[in-house]
Structure formats: structure tokens, C-alpha cells
Structure 1
Amino acid sequence: MRSLGVKGLRPKNLWPGGGGVRRAVVTVLCSLLVLAALLLPNAVAALRPVRFLRLPGEAVIGAIVLLAVPRRARTPLAVAGGLGLAALTVLNVLDIGFLQYLGRGFNPVLDWELLDDAYGYLRDTLGGSAALAAVAGTLAGVGALFAVLVWATVRLAGALDRHRSRASLGVLVAGTVWVTCAALGLQIGGVPFAADRAAQAALSQARRVQVTLRDEAQFAREAKADAFGATPPAQLVPDLRGKDVIFAFVESYGRSAIEDPAIAPGVTATLDARTEALRRAGFQARSGWLTSATYGGGSWLGHSTFLSGLWIANQARYRTVTTGDHLTLTKAFRKTGAWRTVGIVPGVRKGWPEARFYGLDHVYDAHHLGYRGPKFSWSTMPDQFALEAFQRLEHGRRHDKPLMAEVILTSSHQPWAPIPRTVGWDELGDGRIFDGIEKAGLDPEDVIADSARSKREYGRSVQYSVTSLTQWLQRYGTDDTVLVFLGDHQPIARVSGDHASRDVPVSVVARDPKVLAAIDDWGWTRGLRPARTAPVWKMSAFRDRFLRAYGSVPRPTKD
């Protein structure tokens, strides 16, 4: 069709100059998209409008390069630039998520496998359909991001080529402004107007990779050296012979639970009440603080740090140490031949090869504790049931040796909804008593999105876990029971705060006064609530102090 009945009037003439306007609008949108990607911060606190009102030096350099290279190289360079910018944007977004949940940035060498754990958490919390939808949406969004940024950079490269003279002048002006503002330190809204955010982000990621690769080799040597690695069995924990020793981890039980004004009242009241209840049952407690190697998640890093005496702050270190033969606290008891060693791990739902590293004779995972009740979001069963199963399967049975048990409690795992409540210990049965409790609980989606509610429900979950554990001790503990329990890490930043410490409470509880007398020189607080001024140790320091306190003789192995 050549006309609408009037000679020379073509469809495009209905909006004279319209094509040029549309091209200009699209070019402006492409520019804004690229600028936003170049200026994107990697932390929630930095996501302020003023951060996107700056001049990125990388944009100036990119334009200079595209104007300088031959035309045949321009498009491939623009594509590479778009891909790199999209990859950097993904890393920045991952940094935001990791900082919010784990208190650290994303490690491009180690952390990809944690995304599978994130999917598992979503599946257990929101359901399989919602988790699959989230994954599909994320993949689609990432694909669209790469496509759009590549398209935008190619489009801008073409615009530069079509308007070389004006583009060259604009680049010259922009470069002069950037250099002047950088030299004078000019700011807008408290941040430098001359920005190099993308370059700094890329440099930071490169440094993480470099540090990680160097750390792997260094830690492999460190893990081979062990102060107690060559200690003969007869000289390991001789002062605890005949005792049932239990090391229990309470999920996300951090310092914030005891000191944050929005959380602490209920938790401290519970700790004080349980201290008194244990005192009436003949038990005494001493409590202090440990600085965890992890924050917000990655519980296995805290567990391995505490038990191995090594600082296990990332997945590479964890793989290195768990595939070796470094002596853990739990393995020390097995090495003596004087204890039966077991693991109660309701959060484990598949093969757990780490059991060999921890020196456990037998492991009871989620499938072997006899639970037939409902899940409580991520947690496969209430702590009270897991502890009663431990009593039924191991602690309450007659053995020719005392027990050493590693118990990992899960009811205080995020999202803290729904939360179990304690029932009569004689009423637990196979766990179906919790059906109504789970149905009456809060919806995880409502708690996840509300920081104030997350704090409140987190505090309630800690109260439940501590109450379950200490009630179990009060009900089933004997003169020969020694309980050591602690948090594995602080809760996520949304609950503990952006600048919270990594400290967690730790307590030793026993009836035998000799057990607590052995740690009098630790300076810990009496009772289950550590004082604000109680000693703070790195979590990795506990193993050696514990072994020495109970008579172990150091006999080091060398790297």
C-alpha cells in the first residue's frame, strides 16, 4: 500500500519525524538502563535514589573505547560489555541477598552450591509449587536481564557511531566533569558525584576469588596440624569417664535473643525460669559467649567450627576439614573406646557422609526418629519430639558404655512460623498430636515479610527450643549427665540487625559439682543467661579449652 488516497502521503508521514523521536526515546531508556546497572549498589542500605544520580567513569571509558575501535569490532565489544554488565548486576543482587541473610557478600567461587539450599528452604517454607515458580521467575528474570543489557549496549554503540561528532564532544565534556569532580571530591547527597562503582565491584569480586584460592591451600595445611591429634586414647577426656555427654546446638540462638530489647524480655525470662527449674532438680549451669564463624545461616559451618577447633568460615574449608581426619570433640570420645557416640539430626533428610568425620557410631536422621506428625515449615519435627526420640532410642536404654551425643535442634530455624508448643511428654506418641498446633500456627509468608513479627516469632521459637531441651534434662538427666548447648549462629540481619555481632550463648549444665569446678577459671556466668560482660571466645577455641579442662593431654600432629 503506497498511499491512503492522497498522492505522496505514506503511513509514516502521519507522525512527521516520529521515527526519530522514538529512536531518541529508546536510546535514552537504554542509557538509563546501563547507568543504573553501572551504579547499582550491593547492599540494601545503599539503595537510595541519590546513588543513581552520579556520573559513572566506566560509562565514559566505554564510550571512548567504542568510538575508537574499528566498526567491525564495535558490535562484539558492545555485546561483551553488555554480558559483563549483566553478570556484574547478578553478582550485586546476590551480594544484597547474602548480606541480608548471611551477613557477608556472595563468593563466586564457593557459594553457587548454596543456591540449591536456598531452593530447598523455599520449598520447605512456601511449598513446592511456589518454590518452582520462584526459580522459574528468577531464571526468566536473569535471562531477560542479559538480553536487555546486551541489546542496550549494542543500541548505544550504534547511536555513538551514527552521531560521532556530537558523541565525541559529549564524551569529552563528561570526562572533564568526571575528572574535575573526582579531583575536588564533589559530592551529591553525601556520596561522590564521580562514581566508579562498577569497577570497584568487579575488583572486589576478583579479590574474593584470589583470597579464596589462596585460603584453600593455607587452610589445608592448617587442618593437618592438631594439638590433640596424636594424644593416646587413655589421655583424652579422662575426667568425664562414666558421664553421658551431650553437645546440643540450638538453631539461630544468638546474642540478639538475649540483648535485643524487642526480643530479649521473653527469652531472658525463660532462661531465668529454666535456670531455677534446673536448680530445683539439682543441676547447675555456667554460661559464656562464643563468636560463630557464620551468621544468619550455614549452620554446618558453626557446628564444624565448634567441634573441630578450626575456623570453618566457608564451604571450601568445610569440604577440606570434613574429608580429612582432624580430631573433633565428638571423635575424641569415640577414640577413647569408652563411649557410644550417636547423632540426633532431625534436619538431615538424605545421606550425611560427615558422620564419619564427627566420629558417630550411629546417626538418627529425620527418617529414623519415628515422627509421623506435620512439618513446621523447614523444621521436620518439633525439638521436643526429637529429644523424646533420643531418650527412647538411646539415652533411656541400657548400654554397656555411657553415651556421647551430638544433638542438632531445628525448631528455631527461620522463618519461625508456625512454631510448635510444648505438650505433655507422655502425650507425644508418634507426633500426630502436633497436627492441630501446626494448623493453628502462623503462615510463613506473613512472618517473612514483616521484620517486627519476625523478631517476635524468632524470640518465641528460641524460648520453645530452650524450654524443650532443659525440660528434657530436668526429666531424664542423672548425676552422670553433662549437657553442653549453644547457638550455631545469629539470626538473619532482618532480625538481629545490620551491625549485630556474631556472638552466640553457650552453657555447660551438670549435677556433678566436679564438672563445673573444672571450668571455674573460665570466668563464665552462673545460670543459663550469660552476662553482657562474660568472656567472649572464638568458637574455634572451645574444643581445646574443653579437652584441657577435663584432663586431656596435648600431643600434637604436625602439618
Structure 2
Amino acid sequence: MAVFTRQPRHTTEDAPDDTEPQAPEGRLTRRRTAHPTATRVLRRTATGLCAALVLIALLMPNTLQTMTAGTFLRIPVEAIIGAAVLLVLPRRPRLVAAVVAGLGLTALTALNLLDMGFNEYLGRDFNLVLDWGLLDDAQAYMEDTMGAAGAIVLAVGAVALVVLLGALMTLATVRMSGVLVRHRTVAVRSTLAAAVVWTLTYALGLQFAGLPVAADNAAALTEARAEKVQATLRDEAAFAREARTDIFADTPGEQLVPDLRGKDVIFTFIESYGRKAIEDPLISPGVRQTLDTGTEALTEAGFAAKSGWLTSATFGGSSWLGHSTFLSGLWVDSQQRYATVTSGDHLTLTKAFQKTGDWRTVGIMPGVQKGWPEANFYGLDTVYDAFELGYKGPKFSWSTMPDQYTLEAFQRLVHGKKRDKPLMAEVILTSSHQPWSPLPKMVDWEDLGDGSLFGPVEKAGTDPADIIADSTRSKEEYGKSIEYSVTSLTQWLQRYGTEDTVLVFLGDHQPIVRVSGYDSGRDVPVSIVAKDPKVLDKIAGWGWSDGLRPAQDAPVWKMSDFRDRFLTAYGSIPSGKKG
């Protein structure tokens, strides 16, 4: 009689450490058995896609202009190190490590995509400490451009994309860890060979398509971000000390801008009015003609102008950084610096006029659509926001109203009224804000009314989606927007300017990369216009060009230098205060 002994059944916990647990027998297993070739092809394809996804994540750059085919034909050292770690870990720690690696690669990819977006619009990388709040601004901008439904779809799509990316990346790293241990011998040899090749190519400096074959892209980006976080945290304290240093802080009011007493001084920012508008061959012809025509018309009206260049603290957006830099005399190039300076009592150019007690100070802010506590920091007695200028017409994408209407409202509400004091005004013109579609058109000043006549103009305008997707059209429409803003301003000055009007106008930053390019710099034009020749005589030593168009070789200053130069030119006496 035969005696049979029962063999013990292996469980998942009993599986050898260097193999993956076997799936239970079932329908899927039977299908694999019935179609071995198809199953093998599918498994190899899945493995190849997983490997490609991991390699793309490790080699992906953080700027669009550096993303080429050669970028992904390199050897990432992080993959070699990761494979080595996974090969030596037991099963459960290996699974945990694979999941963590997948999530880490997801975060790396998401940050790289954010960097790409920020570089395309703001000309800089995403700041992990400061820039999360700007995502709300981006959402608001997309709502103004695409409508509420389109913005919601885009936001939901972005979140879904990150979640999907996280799931796929984690599945890819887990699968690759399983492949490594199932083929341990081959994996060990391949990892050692890759390490040797990486070391040799690194030592020899070998390159392919202009890039080093031995890559450490993920590690380098992670290190750079960590250093930027540390620098951001250190900068807060350093800038707070800098903001407390002000040579005009203790200057008595009677010793501030005495040479402008009795003048209406108007500081006007033109959105995205950058050097590119005057020098880019595709943009500049119309803008140059507009500036030259404006110069001639103002000359006939008795005005003269001088112009130069300022280097803005921002690029492509975040206009408030340019405004605060120009007016505070401090280099405000981050949201953290902006919060620091606006929460203090640093003397701004506009507040200097308020401090004298001899001017009424006003802000014309068509882009402000909610509470704006910065009015106190800027020293503005009264602020007219988007809801207080009386506009009843349509928005033009982000811009709440055409510049021509903004200036006419300024005339009606403030400048044209009888006053017991001269006026100091800060005026923001927004029609040249991206996406430059649809654009308003000049109308008869007498017909502006409440702005309702702009309804048909807005409806007949271009579709923002068409302009955003086309770099050439973006440049063309951007140029038209600058022509419109400059024309509105110069015509307003011709129409309403007096012997005592002093106009200072400038751009807040260059337009986005799609229009400016990657190496366009941050310079913006600045002009001072007046009828009284004594006003321009005070800045004769600045070396600025005559007229509204600065020469290519006109002086270039940091935007933060303007406040002190302006205050000094018009007779202000430094107090010598130290921080």
C-alpha cells in the first residue's frame, strides 16, 4: 500500500525573498497560458513603458527651451543608484522604497512642469516657498481669459493630471523593482556596467547632442531647489534690514520735492510696456511710429519729453513687484519682499508727496477688484478701483476697462475738478495686459460716456485662445495693445494737460517669454513729460533721450534707483537715516 505524504503549501509570506509572490490560478492565468506570445509581448511592452516613464522623469529639464531629443538619451546616475538600492533591499522595504521613489518622481515632474510654466510667463523658476499663492492669480487670469467654466475645467484637469501621474509613476517604479529582482543576475551585472560607463563618461566629459552623457539631472534640480528655499528664508531677514534703511525717511515734508510745488504730478504705469516693444522687428514699427507721432503732437501742444530705460524687478507678470520697486526705491523681486515692504512704513515716492501736505494724492486702479490695504503704504488719500470709475462696458479679457476710458474717468472724477491743492496721482493702465485679445479701439473722447459703446468692439475682437496659441499673433496683438495705451495717454495729455502737468510714465515689466523671448532682459522704457522747461532742466544731467522713445544706448538704471534720483533731482534733502 502506497503511503502519500502531504507537502506543505507555500503562502505569500513563505515566498523566497528574491521573487515576487505568484498570482493565484484564475481566469487571467488561464488566458496567459492560452496566449503565451501575446502575454509576453504585453508584459515586455508594459515594462518598457514603465522604464521609459521613469527615465523621462529623471532626465526631464525644467525649461521648455532645453527640452530636446538629446536630453533623454543620457544615463541618469539616479537610476543606477536606485536600481542598486532596490536590489539589496528585502521584499517589503523594497516595495516601500519603490512607492516612495514613485511619489518622489511625481513631485519632481510636477515641479519641473511648474518651472516650465513660470519660465514661460515670468521668466523664472517656481519658488517653493513663495509662489503657491500665485496659483490663485493664475486661476483668476484663466477665468478672465477663458471664462469660469473653462478655468474650472483647466484646474480640475491639472489636478487630475497630477493624480494620474502619481498613480502611473508609482506603478512604474513598483513594476521595475519587481523586474529587477526577478532577473537579479542580469540586473546586478547591468547595474554595475551602467555604473562603470557613467563614471567613465563623466570623467572623460563625453557629450551627445551638446549634453553630457553622464547625467545627474534629478539630483541637481533637487539640490538647486533646496538651496533656493534656504536662500529665500535667509532673504526675509536681510531684506527687512534693508527696508529699514532710508536716507529720506526723516526728511521733513517741506524739504521733499520743493521744486515741484504747484505741479500736478502723475505717475502712470503701462502694463507690459517693455523694451521689446521698441526693439523687436515684428513689434516695434507700429510702436515706434506711435511714440514718434505722440512726441510730435505733444511738441505742438507745448510739451517736451525725455526718456530712458529702467531694469524691472519682475518679468512677464506680477506687476505689483514692479510698481513697488519703482515707488519704494527697494528691489522688490518676490512676494515675500513685497509683503515685507508693504507692511512697513518705508517712504514711497507717492507717499513723499503726501508727507508734504501740499498735494492731494489719488490712485486710479482699474485692475483692483477687492480690498487693497496697500493704499496706506503708498500714501494715497483716495483710491478709485474698478467699481468706482463708473464703467458700464464689457471687460477686455483680464482688463476691466479700456485705458482711454480709465483716463477720461480720471479726468472727470479728479483731474478736471476744481481743487485747493495740486494733484499727485498714480494711474495704472491695463489694456496691454496679456492675452492681448480682444483689444479696445480709440473712439471720440466726447462719446466715451459710461463705456457702453465698447460692447460691439469687444464682441468683434479676436478670440484669446487663438492668440495664446500663436506666438507671432501674440507679438502682433501685443504691439497693437502698446500702441493703443500710448495713444490713449498722449491724447489725454494733449487734451487735458496744463502748464503745471508733469507726467511720468513707464512700463512695469517686459511681456511674457512667448513675446519677449528667453534672453530679452528686463528693461522697460520710462519718460518724463512737462510743459514747464524747468522740470526737464532738473534732469538734464541724466543723459536721457529727447522725446518719448529712448535711444538704444540711453542710460539703463535699476528700477529701484529711480526714487532717490527723482527726489534728489527735484530738491529733496536726504536725512541720512541708517537702518
Same fold (TM over 0.5): yes
Shift of 1:79: 1.2
Instruction: Output the aligned Cα RMSD.
Output: 1.4
Structure 2 counterpart SS, 1:419: coil
Query: 3-state DSSP class of the match of 1:386?
Result: helix
Please, which runs of 5 or more residues in structure 1 have no aligned partner? none
Give the counterpart of 2:559 among 532, 539, 543.
539
Structure whose CA Rg is larger: 2
In structure 2, distance between residues paired with 1:519 and 1:354: 30
What residue number does 1:317 align with?
A: 337
For 1:483 and 1:115, locate their aligned partners in 2 and report how far apart those are by CA, in whole Å. 35
What count of residue pairs does the alignment treat as equivalent? Answer: 554
Matched, 1:356 2:376: yes
- Aligned partner of 1:213: which letter? L
The whole-number CA distance in structure 2 between the counterparts of 1:354 and 1:157 is 54
Q: Which moved more, 1:105-114 or 1:163-172?
A: 163-172
- CA shift for structure 1 position 556: 3.1
Q: 1:100 aligns with which of 105, 120, 138?
A: 120
What is the letter of the counterpart of residue 307 of structure 1? L
For 2:67 and 2:26, how far apart are their aligned partners in 1? Answer: 52
Match of 2:21 in 1: none
Give distance in 1, aligned partners of 2:50 and 2:414.
65
Of 490, 500, 504, the match for 2:524: 504
CA distance in 2, matches of 1:18, 1:418: 54
Name the SS for the 1:295 alignment partner: coil
CA contact (8 A) 1:301 1:313 kept: yes
Question: Which one of 342, 347, 355 corresponds to residue 327 of structure 1?
Answer: 347
1:211 deviates by 1.1
SS across alignment from 1:372:
coil
Q: What is the aligned partner in structure 2 of residue 150 from structure 1?
A: 170
Mapped partners of 1:58, 1:13: distance in 2: 37
Query: How far apart are 1:3 and its partner, in Å?
Result: 12
Residue 224 of structure 1 contacts residue 557 of structure 1 at CA under 8 Å; is this kept in 2?
no
Alignment partner, residue 338 of structure 1? 358
Q: Is 1:161 matched with 2:181?
A: yes
Say which SS state the counterpart of residue 358 (structure 2) adopts: coil
TM-score, with length taken from structure 1: 0.97
Alpha-carbon shift at residue 18 of structure 1 (Å):
4.6
What residue in structure 1 maps to residue 8 of structure 2?
A: none
Q: 1:80 aligns with which of 67, 76, 100?
A: 100
Within a 5 Å distance, the mapping from 1:41-440 to structure 2 comes to 41-440=61-460
Cα–Cα, structure 1 residues 254 and 11, in superposed 2: closer, same or farther, change >3 Å? closer
Name the SS of the counterpart of 1:411 in structure 2. Answer: coil
- Aligned equivalents of 1:108, 1:85: Cα separation in 2: 16
CA-CA distance at 1:440 after TM superposition: 1.1
Q: Which amino acid in 2 is paired with 1:121?
A: Y
CA distance in 1, matches of 2:111, 2:388: 40
**CA positional deviation for 1:78:** 1.1
- How far apart, CA to CA, are the structure 2 residues paired with 1:10 and 1:120? 54
199-208 vs 308-317, which moves further:
199-208
CA offset at residue 11 of structure 1? 4.2
Of residues 467, 485, 491 in structure 2, which corresponds to 1:465?
485
**C-alpha separation in 2, matches of 1:169 and 1:406:** 69
TM-score relative to the length of structure 2: 0.94
Post-superposition offset of 1:276 = 0.6
CA shift at 1:25, angstroms? Answer: 2.3
* Alpha-carbon contact 1:248-1:406 (below 8 Å) kept: yes
Alignment correspondent of 1:15: 35
The residue aligned with 2:13 is none
Cα distance in structure 2, aligned partners of 1:278 and 1:12? 83
Q: Per-residue CA shift, 1:238-276, capped at 9, x if unaligned?
A: 111111100000000000111111111100000000001
Deviation at 1:26, TM superposition (A): 1.6
**Range 166-175 or range 519-528, more displaced:** 166-175
Taking the aligned partners of 2:344 and 2:102, their CA distance within structure 1 comes to 43
2-structure distance, mates of 1:73, 1:545: 64
| AA in 2 matched with 1:451 | S
Against the structure 1 CA distance between its residues 222 and 513, is the aligned structure 2 distance closer, same or farther, given a 3 Å change threshold? same
Deviations 1:64-97 (A, max 9, x none): 1111223221111111111111111111111111
User: Distance in 1 between the 2:39 and 2:280 partners?
Assistant: 60
Percent identity of paired positions between Structure 1 and Structure 2: 65
Shift of 1:455: 0.7
